[in-house]
Amino acid sequence: MEKANISGYQLFVLIFLFEMGSALLVPLAGEAKQAAWLVILIAMVGGFLLFFIYYGLFQYYPDQLLTEFVRSILGNFLGRIVAFLYILYFIYLAARVLRDFGDTLLTFAYPHIPLFVANAAFILVVVYTVRKGVEVLTRTGELFFVLENLLLMTFFLLIVASGMIHLNNLKPVIEMSGTEMVKMAFTKTIFFPFGEIISFLMIFPYLNEPKRLKKIGISSIAAAGIFLAIIMAMNIAVLGVDLTTRSQYPLLSLIQSIEVAGFLERLDVYFLFLLMIGGFIKISVFTYVAVTGTANVFNVKQPSRLAYPVGFVILLSSIIIASNFTEHMHEGLGAVPIYFHLPFQVIIPLLLLIIAFFKNRKKKKGQHQNKFQGGVDQK
Amino acid sequence: MKFFGITLLLLIPLVVLSLGMDILLGFDLDNSIKHVFNPFLVKDPAEFILFFILLSFLVFSFFYRKKKKKNKGKGQQ
């Protein structure tokens, strides 16, 4: 664990940008059609529940990283294996996000550049940031947060000014039944992007005001969830359900359709900025977490030296992961939530919390008894 | 060498994971192995050059250590 301190605001910014990262790109909860924004809000509530699980773990071990307290809870051998699996999970997620962004860049902006080159350029920047440590990452996040908010604000203004919002596209709002919405929110949308916050269990110990963590976590998840819901509602209100669900990148279609006063158009660069900011922060967080975790599990004294090897592994995995974009998306929507997200985001943390609860209860009881006996002896 | 070992230890399970994903999607083992190595068989020359440059950086990073400490040690002696 490096010697670093991050403030509450910096953590808020980092979580917000992380959540917005790749969720802005895809039609999030698109299957829910007009109710997509409601499903996102329900999933956000689920995200709160997941955050409380992680927060519970953090409260038991406030000074330890995820890879450390797993060993405290499960013992050295089993704990090391679970910690290693978590590292693989974070690297796999980083590779998936990198592939997402590489493919998006190729389809939308650079059709003649090979995927490997685009991904390599991206990961080299990430490796450089990760080498510099978590403080640099959060400060970069602070800068980007301002830029992203300015972009989003002007984007909303332009959309409203161009008069493209047709609220009738959002009707009927509750076409799906409530149970269907909850089912969709808790089986898909909750894992991506809200559950991915588990990676922050490796960053929470750096927070200089741990008592405020609950407020910071909830407010950042709420802010990201509300923004995502508004953007999805806007996508549907402007493009309609059919185009939004069929489009690979509905936000891009939305931005391309902006036309104000006959001259303010072709604002694709907005999309590119949002893409770069979100992607950079998300991949950097996953890579940083993987590097710190690897250094912790393998007792490496200089974690920064691991940044390049881990970055290279992420780069190779992003290429190997799928032979084409369709396969990549198919895996991401079908297999990953069940076989990866569910165990690593819900089942293992829940088990860890239960074990930590019983372990610490015993300890507390022991301490209480010792105090009592000590008191008797003194008398 | 520790870094080399760690890199391999991370890379091999991820390749196996990718193979497993392909098998889950319904491909047989032969095809999924082809899928894993296909991106490296269809590279452009430019991609190959970049790949080898990055690979040489990686190999270099395994053996590279900061020399400042050694100098300091010598100076103290």
Q: Give the C-alpha separation, A249 to A243, whole Å.
A: 10
Q: Give the C-alpha separation, A196 to A336, whole Å.
A: 12
pLDDT at A379: 40
A164-185 mean pLDDT: 87
HEC string for A257-271: CCEECCCEECCHHHH
Residue B64 has pLDDT above 70, yes or no: yes
As beta bridge partners, residue A265 has A259
- A295 in a domain, yes or no? yes
Q: Which residues contact A139 (CB under 8 A, 6 or more apart)?
A: A10
CB-based contact A335:A321 (threshold 8 Å): no
User: Which of helix, strand or coil describes residue A6?
Assistant: strand
CB-based contact A93:A282 (threshold 8 Å): no
Indicate the burial class of A371 (C-beta count within 10 angstroms; 0-12, 13-18, 19 or more).
exposed
For every residue of A206-232, DSSP letters joined together read GBS-GGGHHHHHHHHHHHHHHHHHHHH
- Domain at A281, CATH number: 1.20.1740.10
Total domain count for chain A?
Answer: 1
- A24 in a domain, yes or no? yes
pLDDT at A373: 60
Q: Give the C-alpha separation, A81 to A67, whole Å.
A: 10
pLDDT at A372: 57
- A83 in a domain, yes or no? yes
- A1 in a domain, yes or no? no
Residue A371 has pLDDT above 60, yes or no: no
- A3 in a domain, yes or no? no
Confidence bin at B69 (pLDDT 50/70/90): low
Closest residue by Cα to residue A197 from A46, A6, A331, A9: A46
User: Comparing A364 with A155, which gets the higher pLDDT?
Assistant: A155
Residue A112 has pLDDT above 50, yes or no: yes
Overall residue count recorded for chain B in this entry? 77
Range of the domain at A141: 8-378
Shortest alpha-carbon distance between residue A377 and chain B (Å) = 53
For every residue of A134-164, DSSP letters joined together read HHHHHHHHHHHHHHHHHHHHHHHHHHHHTT-
- A2 in a domain, yes or no? no
Residues of B in Cβ contact (< 8 Å) with A313? 7, 10-11, 14
Q: Which of A24-28, A109-113, A277-281 has the highest mean pLDDT?
A: A277-281
pLDDT at B24: 83
A192-201 mean pLDDT: 92
Q: Which residue of A has its CA nearest to B44?
A: A114
The tens digit of pLDDT for each residue in B11-63 reads 999 999 989 888 888 888 888 888 888 887 777 888 889 999 999 999 988 88
pLDDT at A175: 82
As beta bridge partners, residue A259 has A265
Residues of A in Cβ contact (< 8 Å) with B32? none
Instruction: State both tokens at A296.
Output: 């912790």
Please state the ipTM of this predicted complex. Answer: 0.86
The tens digit of pLDDT for each residue in A240-270 reads 988 888 888 898 888 888 888 777 788 888 8
A339-352 mean pLDDT: 94
Q: Which of B14, B21, B61 minimises the CB distance to A88?
A: B14
Residues of B in Cβ contact (< 8 Å) with A92? 14, 17
Q: Of A9-13, A21-25, A216-220, A352-356, give the lowest mean pLDDT range.
A: A21-25
User: Comparing B77 with A68, which gets the higher pLDDT?
Assistant: A68
Other Cβ atoms within 10 Å of A246 Cβ, number: 13
Checking phi first, is residue A2 left (phi over 0); if not, alpha (psi -120 to 50) or beta? Answer: beta
Contact B39 A116 (CB under 8 A): yes
